[in-house]
A and B are shown apart, each in its own frame.
Chain A
Amino acid sequence: MLTIAIFLPTLAALVIALTPRSRPDLPRAIALVFSLVVLALAAIMFVSLDRGFQGFQFTNHVTWVRTSLGGFSFQYYVGLDGISAALVLLTAFLNVVAVLVSWGIALRPKEYFIWLLVIESGVLGVFSSLDLLLFFLFWEVELVPMYLLISIWGSGRKEYSATKFVLYTVAGSSFMIVGILALGFTAHTFEIPEIMRNGVREAAIPLGFIFFALFSGFAVKLPMFPLHTWLPDAHTDAPTAVSVILAGALLKMGGYGIIRLCVGLLPQTAHDWGLAITLLGAIGVVYGALVTLRQTDLKRLIAYSSVSHMGFVLIGVGALGQLGLTGATVQMVTHGLVTGMLFVMVGLVYERTHTRQIPELGGLARQMPWIAAAFVVAGVASLGLPMLAGFVGEVVVFLGAFSKYAATTIVAVSGVVLAAGYILWMLQRVFFGPPKEQWAHLGDARHWSEWLAMGAMTASIVAVGIYPQWIIDAIDHGVVPIASRLG
């Protein structure tokens, strides 16, 4: 079932490739149907994941390429635990939303949806790979489609941003593959469960080097301060749906990699570096929040707030305890939902006003009350209002980190205060205040796809916020084995 879920988007991409050029409305319908099916599969797997059984489930294990020499082989080995099940569900959900918000794409729709679906396959693959090489393989899949999506369908300095994205990612993944190779040869296997069971002992290559190589690859993707500068550019210039996927799913690959590989496979080394990770996370939170305050472009503002929010993930990881890791994962899921929704909302506003400059907007709540309402929900979720999704992740992270690094955590909490500042200020400037003459003719959400995207996102944020246990339960299932090895 997992394999089907991973490759269904690719199949959809192939089907779309075969549609005739004369039917530009077909690609989006096919994309929607297939991503709904993937979402259904992901939901079934999430629900039926056996919480009582430790270990990976829904596994498929096939030796794919056997080179017969030196016992080395490529494995197709996928499976889910709680962490990956939650992230797979998130990815599948966001992809449906991404298709919905792309409903009006008129420029080369066929290619657009093909690339969108290819990315989904790649991301799902990353979250479910249990073999390091397969992991890397899937990791690289998103690169080129992302480049094309930003540089063809983007806006502003789109080529600059797309190239910057590629250069950063490639630099990161070149470190990562070296780390993966070194890890594999040190452990004599590339299978993640196998390495988790046996551990990695000191070998020819210092483990710290392997850890560093892997960590740099993931830190770029997360993104961690000071490697974050590609993110605001890529987000700002990407089309709405791509921003949603980028913020919601792609950044999570970085956090997932840190938890699964850096912490999961090299717990001892992670211990040595815990404080450094926490500090970098805290710097990211505060720095990101401060920079966010100064932004005048809506998308850039949300992009920088992402940097700040992903800092919490690092703080949670750096605490190196069960609570911290759970918090980090929950934070990833909630950030995916909240920031995804913020980008959806910005997209809706931009479609109407054709500007994202905050000073040019104002009083929009009058023309588009529903969009304003949804935007406010997403906004306050982002600043961590209780009963909404954003709150859950941050609180668990703080609980996990406080006992270990109290001072750092207190500094990081100030990030939440700043978040309240930039979000409320932004909402006030865009939706409230005196209405402006030039926006008088604008209307509210009309098309069913817009309603559906908005509604689904709001519902999910509220659902996670009111009863987070359903997602924490699953995540704990994945975190416990990792945390138990941290000692």
Chain B
Amino acid sequence: MPIVTNLDVMMAKRKVSLKELADRIGISNTNLSLLKTGKVQGVRYRTLDAICKELDCQPGDILEYRSDE
């Protein structure tokens, strides 16, 4: 999959733990962990909105397209 999640980078920049962010955006630790490791098929706009709001960033800071070639 050429879409890479850089959530861990943004979390490190904002010095936010996984549990803390999960609590703030209202999803489970497990789901946030899956999102962080890129093991999901999709992200809801609602989740993306909450993450961007909490980490004060843009969707492009979290998701990145890297070509397979």
Co-assembled chains A and B: no
Residues of B that sit less than 8 Å from A by CB: none
